[in-house]
């Protein structure tokens, strides 16, 4: 599915009111049952369900979250990623669309997403893709170029996304003060951003 078509689907969901419904109503977690049976072959599969287009090899599907029950001072429900095979209450946080490509692993800081170098000509246009995820169980090594998908995320709900340590969030602080990212309906380039178009020599 092409990026323009993905955006049309996301817009249709919003216009139809689905984005304002309970996110879990959009598509329940079914442990990669057909037709959303594509696997990356690593931890990403614990909170994604996608399908591959036979026409062009692109992806379309869903990225899942679990709400902790805390609502921040600025009224954002706190959510995080979990292993949806192990918990009963995962819901859709984003629709995702992806284009097959390759990227070069550069570095990782702490628990943040690994950062990949991706030539600007490989970034799908028009659109707002922000996350590259590799295929296979092995974690890429320094300067290794690996196959994967460049992903565009479209939030279907409003929430405070905290990637690590969400259980420590409290209602007396804002989302950002809790270490989270405010997510609203629509294109999201902040929560999973991990691509750069250039890198210093030697990195």
Provide the pLDDT confidence category of residue 194 given band limits of 50, 70 and 90. very high
pLDDT per residue over 15-73, tens digit each? 333 333 444 479 999 999 999 999 999 999 999 999 999 999 999 999 999 999 999 99
In 56-114, DSSP assigns E strands to 59-71, 77-80, 91-107
In the chain, domain spans: 3-196
pLDDT at residue 202, as a whole number? 74
Q: What is the pLDDT of residue 19?
A: 38
Distance separating alpha carbons of residues 194 and 128, to the nearest angstrom: 13
Q: What are the b/e assignments for 97-108, b being 16+ CB within 10 Å?
A: bbbebebbbbee
What does pTM read for this prediction?
0.87
Average pLDDT for the chain: 90
pLDDT of residue 137: 95
């Amino acid at each position: 599915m092409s990026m323009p078509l993905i955006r049309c689907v996301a817009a249709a969901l919003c216009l139809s009111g689905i984005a304002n419904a309970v996110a879990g109503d959009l598509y329940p977690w079914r442990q990669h049952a057909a037709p959303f049976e594509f696997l990356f072959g690593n931890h990403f599969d614990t909170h994604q369900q996608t399908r591959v287009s036979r026409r062009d090899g692109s992806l379309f599907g869903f990225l899942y979250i679990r709400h902790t029950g805390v609502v921040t001072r600025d009224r954002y429900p706190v959510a995080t990623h979990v292993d949806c095979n192990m918990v009963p209450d995962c819901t859709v946080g984003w629709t995702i669309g992806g284009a097959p490509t390759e990227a070069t692993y550069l570095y990782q800081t702490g628990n943040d997403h690994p950062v990949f170098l991706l030539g600007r000509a490989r970034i799908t246009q028009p659109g707002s893709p922000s996350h590259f995820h590799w295929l296979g169980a092995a974690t890429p090594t320094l300067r290794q170029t690996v196959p994967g998908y460049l992903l565009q995320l479209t939030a279907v709900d409003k929430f405070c996304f905290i990637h690590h340590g969400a259980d420590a969030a409290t209602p007396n602080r804002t989302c950002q003060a809790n270490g989270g990212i405010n997510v609203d309906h629509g294109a999201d380039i902040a929560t999973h951003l991990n691509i750069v178009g250039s890198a210093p020599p030697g990195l």
